[in-house]
Structure 1
Amino acid sequence: MVTYLLPLLIANTAGRMVYGERGGVVATIATVGVIVGTNIPMFLGAMIMGPIAAWIMKQVDKLWDGKIRPGFEMLVNNFSAGILGMILAIVGFFAFGPVMLGISAALGAAVDWLVSLNLLPLVSIIVEPAKVLFLNNAINHGASAPGAAIIQFFGGIHEIYFPYALSKPTTILALIAGGAAGVTTNMVLGGGLAFPAAPGSIIAVTAAAIGPGVANLLVVYLSVIIAATVTFLITGVILRASRKRDIAAEGDAFGAAIAQTEANKGKSSAAMDALRTSTATTAPEATPAPATTAVAAAPIETIVFACDAGMGSSAMGASVLRNKLKKAGIEGVTVTNAAIANLDGAADVVITQQQLTDRATAKSPDSLHVSVDNFMNSPKYDEVVEMVKEQRKDEE
């Protein structure tokens, strides 16, 4: 499953995000060539080959878009996808796969070299800044700032602390020191994980550490405690030393840090939206004019929250609206979440973030579309609830 299934699932998902089902199929075929050409877990290869293959399929289809004679569409589509998939699989086997194998071997050799010299803690110099700059695997979960520690520790979503580090870049030094301290503890005491803990929750860490034995689990726990303590102490020194200067500084540094995190990530998320909302409540600003939501002509029975992946942010938004409908005593309305690519036009209302509304409209043109700034806390939810209420009153 690690060698074949998981990389192919990654490739298929990436392909679908680029070019729907067709992109997913071609991405999967192409990635098979990469896997067979290396015979090692090709997660990185799947993440690169998948979207590239789907993009190439998309460009190839543009060559004869609107030029196929009626009745020959299926023939051309099937043959083009099959032939292109075959070509990309061959390229993956003979060219792309060996390159990825070489990269993996080089990275493995680098790690072995660091271990042989007892320098593995130095990896933190690269890893910790890279995490903050969002070169990591983030899932769009999150909560407001007061719950950030719980979200990171138990939920494993480290995204929640990135804006704090970006708003005060010198604190990245504390992250590096804390990470190095944790790695050093495991090296000295012989601790470690049997498999990668993903997401980085203490629950996943426990599951990965308990395999080698209870003693190993205690060592891993100690490394977590030491890493957190070192990070806390150094951060405290940094913040204390610059406290007066920070208070005197003008501008919304934290808000800018949130924006920078989103720019590094390439999109917004529930965690960032929640942080922005909690920050906005501490600073007075002009109240924008309330935006209105269009009125639905047909009875509202199904509401779908849609985002890129169909989980995380949209799931959080669906939960919020579901609770609002329940408190309003409204029954018979199904609220779900889905990926934009999977919208089938059956939803009465589709709720998306503003930058995704056009894509959602193209996938589900007959639905009523509602745009929101963030999925965690939007006044549009109350408008939707009122709309459903008014419909129910008219029916009575």
Structure 2
Amino acid sequence: MANSAQATDNVVEMQQPSTRAKVQAFGGFLTNMVLPNIGAFIAWGLLTALFIPSGWIPNEELAQIVGPAINYLLPLLLAITGGRMVGGQRGAVMGAIGAIGLIVGSDIPMFLGAMVIGPAGGWVIKKFDKLIENRIPAGFEMIVNNFSIGILGFILMILSFYFIGPTIEAANNLVTAAIEALVATGLLPLLSLINEPAKVLFLNNVIDQGIYYPLGMQATAEAGKSIYFTVASNPGPGLGLLVAFTFFGKKTARRTAPGAMIIHFVGGIHELYFPYVLMKPLTIIGMILGGMSGIAVFSLFDAGLVAGPSPGSIIAYLGLTPKGSFVGIIAGVLAGAIVTFLVTSVILKMDKSSEETDELASSVEKTKSMKQEGKQVSKSTSNTKQAASKKIDTVSFACDAGAGSSALGATTFRKKLKKRGIEDIEVKHYRIEDVPDHSDVVVVHADLVDRAKMSHNDKEIITIENYINDPNLDPLLDRLENQ
């Protein structure tokens, strides 16, 4: 079978997941609580932008929906989703019961609380169901199932009202006070020192979904907009980086940057620029300075968005910009792009490496050595032969949330299969933890491989760096063509 040995160079052996992989998984869990409910958040943002007294078309009657929606609807949706992720439908009910205790017992919108109590409720009922499994007398199943949720939910609701809610509210107030202090002293741009490196290491969802979005919703409820939605999602710096690579990059980087630029800026898939930063680590300086510049301009114009832009595209930015913030938002995005472009251009022009060095194609190896903790390539000959000889029917592209870069990778790969006349291979995209058991091959970004191994050690895992044209996928294409 053609290229069989080469095709399995990226099959990863079992090992303990790194701390970073666990943090990524946590961020992914938060994302998958938020992502299914983004439509509701956007609906609330549009309601706020249009109908509050400072909105585009103030309407006192419709504005009455704003408060109940942010205090009840959105936290309950988060809690229900989190509970279902852990404990199925019974977990969803438990999460909602626990969340209502938080909501009524606090004075702030309980987004953080809902993201805690929802999964906690799911875990409690899951453990209880496991405990009584096969122990319920025949005919008593319904009464046990209903009263178990009723009693446990009642206890969780009381605990949430008196203890869990106040604790989470105090922690929320502490974080809010710290970030507001940055705002008051003009040091908010310093957040880019954390945001930009975290993004290229796929840790952005931890801070975005866990901190900035909840704080942004609270601020929007009071002021009709929030800068917190922009501090980590600005598409400007990524645009500037890719424009710089378009003009001053080498070989593959220069060829692929224009396509990545469009997908990143218009489509909102930020993962497209991560390999370029990892290929030239010094360019993170341009990203940080661009992020700082964008935040500084947003602050200068007192600009903000009415909801979290998901995906972080210019279309989402403009769609969620309230009255009076368009100039500031556009200026902040442009400032981030221009500063990043200028700094990155200098870094790339100072690079004296040979034109013959195709660094983007070799960035997989760089990433392995620089960014992966304890990453090893499988050295087992028998396992290699077994993986290479197995017929492949299903290829699953996986990413953090299962809706952005993995979708792009799967679509691109299907087109390549079609060009080769291969039409009987199933190619789909998923969140890493949701990859189905029948998948033969799992394709993930190199920075997510540790997390993939936590759930799919029994599968062949192929790592990539570029979702559009990664050389690590060529051997897989050859195998599929020749099998």
Quickly say closer, same or farther: Cα 1:179–1:380, change in 2 above 3 A: closer
Who is 1:154 aligned against?
A: 266
Alpha-carbon offset, residue 105 of structure 1: 1.7
Quickly say closer, same or farther: Cα 1:256–1:244, change in 2 above 3 A: closer
Letter paired with 1:74: M
Who is 2:184 aligned against?
A: 116
SS in 1 for 2:388: coil
Who is 2:144 aligned against?
A: 76
Quickly say closer, same or farther: Cα 1:84–1:114, change in 2 above 3 A: same
Q: Is the 8 A contact 2:441 2:460 kept in 1?
A: yes
Count residues with an aligned counterpart. Answer: 333
Give the TM-score normalised by structure 1. Answer: 0.64
Cα-to-partner distance string for 1:131-179 (whole Å, 9 max, x where unaligned): 333333399xxxx955322222112222332343344443322222111
Give unpaired runs (5+ residues) of structure 1. 264-285, 295-302, 344-348, 361-369, 386-396
Letter paired with 1:161: Y
Who is 2:250 aligned against?
A: none
1:292 aligns with 2:403: no
Q: 2:99 aligns with which of 31, 39, 43?
A: 31
1:207 aligns with 2:275: no
Q: 1:227 aligns with which of 336, 343, 365?
A: 336
- Alpha-carbon distance between aligned partners in 2 of 1:315 and 1:251, rounded to the nearest angstrom: 19
Correspondences of 1:373-388 after superposition (within 5 Å): none
- Alpha-carbon distance between aligned partners in 2 of 1:319 and 1:238, rounded to the nearest angstrom: 31
Q: 2:158 aligns with which of 90, 100, 103?
A: 90
Q: Is the 8 A contact 2:197 2:284 kept in 1?
A: yes
Quickly say closer, same or farther: Cα 1:317–1:70, change in 2 above 3 A: farther
Correspondences of 1:333-352 after superposition (within 5 Å): none
- Alpha-carbon distance between aligned partners in 2 of 1:77 and 1:315, rounded to the nearest angstrom: 43
Which structure ranks higher in relative contact order (CA pairs < 8 Å, sequence separation ≥ 6)? 2
1:237 aligns with 2:346: yes
- Alpha-carbon distance between aligned partners in 2 of 1:57 and 1:262, rounded to the nearest angstrom: 36
Quickly say closer, same or farther: Cα 1:166–1:190, change in 2 above 3 A: same
Who is 2:90 aligned against?
A: 22
Q: Is the 8 A contact 1:306 1:314 kept in 2?
A: yes
Quickly say closer, same or farther: Cα 1:251–1:229, change in 2 above 3 A: closer
SS in 2 for 1:4: helix
Correspondences of 1:1-396 after superposition (within 5 Å): 1-137=69-205, 146=257, 147-209=259-321, 211-213=322-324, 216-244=325-353, 252-254=362-364, 257=367, 289=388, 291-293=390-392, 313=406, 317=410, 354=442
SS in 2 for 1:19: helix
Alpha-carbon offset, residue 341 of structure 1: 11
Alpha-carbon offset, residue 195 of structure 1: 4.0
SS in 2 for 1:113: helix
Letter paired with 1:48: V
Q: Is the 8 A contact 1:11 1:28 kept in 2?
A: yes
Letter paired with 1:192: G
Cα-to-partner distance string for 1:337-370 (whole Å, 9 max, x where unaligned): 9999999xxxxx96576599xx99xxxxxxxxx9
Alpha-carbon offset, residue 224 of structure 1: 1.1
SS in 1 for 2:70: coil
Percent identity, aligned pairs only, is: 40
Quickly say closer, same or farther: Cα 1:318–1:51, change in 2 above 3 A: farther
Quickly say closer, same or farther: Cα 1:291–1:373, change in 2 above 3 A: farther
- Alpha-carbon distance between aligned partners in 2 of 1:316 and 1:248, rounded to the nearest angstrom: 21
Higher mean alpha-carbon deviation, 144-153 vs 249-258, is at 249-258
